[in-house]
Amino acid sequence: MRADYIRIYKSVHTWTGIVAGMALFIAFYAGALTVFKDPLTRWASPQPAIELVPLDQAQDLIAKTLRAHPEVARDFNIHLRDAEHVPARMEWAVRDPGADDHDESSVRHYMAYLDGGGAAQVEPAHPSGLGAFIDVLHRVVGLPVDNDPNRWIMGVIAALYAVALVSGVIVLLPSLVKDFFALRVGKNLKRMWLDAHNVVGIVSLPFHIVMALSSVVFAYHDGIYLIQDKLLHGGRLEASFQRPGGAAPAAAPRDPAAMLAPQELVARARALSPGFEPYGLQYQQVTGPRALVRVWGKDAAAVSPRARGGFVALDPYTGKVLNSDYMPGRQNAPNLLISSFFALHMAAFGGAAVQWMYFVLGLAGAWLFYSGNLLWIETRRKRADRQGGAVPAQRLDTRLMASATVGVCLGCVCGVSLMIAASKWLHGRVGDPDAWIRALYYLAFFGSLAWSFARGAAAASVHLLWLATALTLAIPATSLLGWLYPAAGPWAHAAPATLAVDLTALAGALGFAWMARATSRRVKHGPRESVWSAGAQSA
């Protein structure tokens, strides 16, 4: 390919990466953690305050609750598994009218249980919103609310991301064979970072292509669903989620006590697919003519249509299968094609091994965008006179980009670690813990950004890396304190999933400490004219 074409593609790659890079850092860093959203939510949730009703008494709980609160029959859940983030066997949510379907901050949760006398009691529930908010940061590149305008912004960022991928591959093609596994470690740090950037980018290219394309799909999914409904479902897509037909609307309400027991519904679902492992039942309109129950579950050997798995819709009174289009392992070709966009993006296949692979690839992707900005800054560095002359003043755009890169990227890291660690301390001490964790994230994020511009990229990078170390170390330290001294307020769970959160945070804190020391050496002993030098501010 001609050299002038290569220069054009290199310019396209550089500027699309610069425009989208910092937003994508947030999306990938938060996205890596979102892979383990459930363990994070369990880590941030105390043991249930009430004892969960045994599963064989769930049918009695349903009947008594709906007798006292008929409006709950519209939509409620029965949890099949006991876990730290499950407050009661029966739970439901009420969304504020007019709120966006994805805005979790507008949802109020309730739970039902049987008291000592066997009567149904209803109370507000307060599940941790930690995992959900990290997911929001991932889905809308750091913006506070998951709504349509913010998703459209994310879609534009994802499109730029795709352009950067294609142009980067074209730029690297002429030297791909020679430079693919070349990692030239030495005094030329820029060369080493460029080699590492290229290797990570090419090795993880299939992953990034999937992320870019599926992100565009998610950003504009309403229009895509409309096309899918017309082409694949003949205008009957909604029927996949609702029971068709039924008795006349004026029919007498049905008796929920006549429904099949949850164990029987689970057995009917498992009979369809032996590898399907149910974890919850979602009942809808159970006193009406179109009653149905979705049996939600996962199958590690199959593709799931959502991160939470898939479902089979049954008649809760007869057990008849109403719809299995969204059941892992039983989807037809068109539905499997659509589900693949979700599964490939959300690691909804392959079990824990694929989840850990996506976690590592997500962190590597965040580093890819961070290193891309650093390479842009170093490329534009003005070098000092070899004869020991005065240190040249660096261009304003490189200094601003360096400060923005450090502030945004490390601000995201500090904010996420702060709100994870704080989630246990806030429980029972504030009225709305979810609002507090959101506020703490943005306090750390914008505080880090302001500090980076005030002190300069060089000094701020060291300070913020040490801050990230301390805040990330606070995550396992909080659990340790809860284990040693429960009266202090925090708690410690013995479940492997929650222990893994503490161990991963400890490894992350050690990694940030290593980076802080390496960055400090660079600031003190690196080239004086670099924006990463201690003398950059004075120059």
Q: Residue 184: is its pLDDT beyond 70?
A: no
In a domain, 482, yes or no: yes
Identify whether residues 386 and 513 lie together within a single domain: yes
Please check whether residue 32 lies inside any domain of the structure. no
Q: Give the pLDDT band (50/70/90) at residue 47.
A: confident
Reported as a single tens digit per residue, the pLDDT across 285-299 is: 999 999 999 999 999
How many distinct structural domains can be found in the chain?
3
Q: Looking at the structure, do residues 332 and 231 belong to the same domain, yes or no? A: yes
**248 falls within a domain:** yes
Residues 265, 319 contacting (CB under 8 angstroms) = yes
Among the three residues 127, 156, 173, which one is the final residue of a domain in this structure? 127
Looking at every residue in the chain, the average pLDDT score rounds to 86
Please tell me the predicted confidence (pLDDT) of residue 25: 95
Residues 255 and 318 in one domain: yes
Q: Which residues of 369-381 are buried (b: 16+ CB within 10 A; e: fewer)?
A: bbbbbbbbbbeeb
What pLDDT, in 10s, does the model give residues 192-225? Answer: 767 777 778 888 888 999 898 888 878 887 766 6
Query: Exposed, middle or buried by CB within 10 Å (0-12, 13-18, 19+), for 287?
Result: middle
Residue 538: what pLDDT? Answer: 45
Of 83, 107, 127, the last residue of a domain is 127
- Over range 5-17, report the average pLDDT: 79
179, burial (CB in 10 Å: exposed 0-12, middle 13-18, buried 19+) = middle
Whether residues 117 and 226 share a domain: the answer is: no
Using one digit for the tens of pLDDT, what is the confidence trace for 424-449? 999 888 988 999 999 999 999 999 99
535 and 387 inside one domain: yes
402 occurs within a structural domain: yes
Residues 478 and 409 in one domain: yes
Q: Which of 300, 331, 346 is where one domain is finished?
A: 346
Domain co-membership, 337 together with 446:
no
Q: pLDDT tens, 81-120? A: 988 889 899 999 998 777 666 667 678 999 999 998 899 9
**What is residue 99's predicted lDDT score, i.e. its pLDDT?**
66
- 94 lies in which domain range? 45-127
pTM: 0.88
Domain annotation covers residue 177: no
What pLDDT, on the 0 to 100 scale, is given for residue 246? 47
Q: Is 438 within the bounds of a domain?
A: yes
**50 and 104 part of one domain:** yes
The full 3-state SS of 278-309, as one line of letters, equals EEEEEEECCCCCCCEEEEEEECCCCCCCECCE
| Two structure tokens written together for 34 | 């979102």
Q: Who wins on pLDDT, 459 or 17?
A: 459
In a domain, 533, yes or no: yes
Strand ranges for 168-301 from DSSP E:
277-284, 292-298
- Model pLDDT, residue 448: 97
Q: 307 and 249 in one domain?
A: yes
Query: What is the Cα gyration radius of the chain?
Result: 26
The stretch 511-517 carries a mean pLDDT of: 96
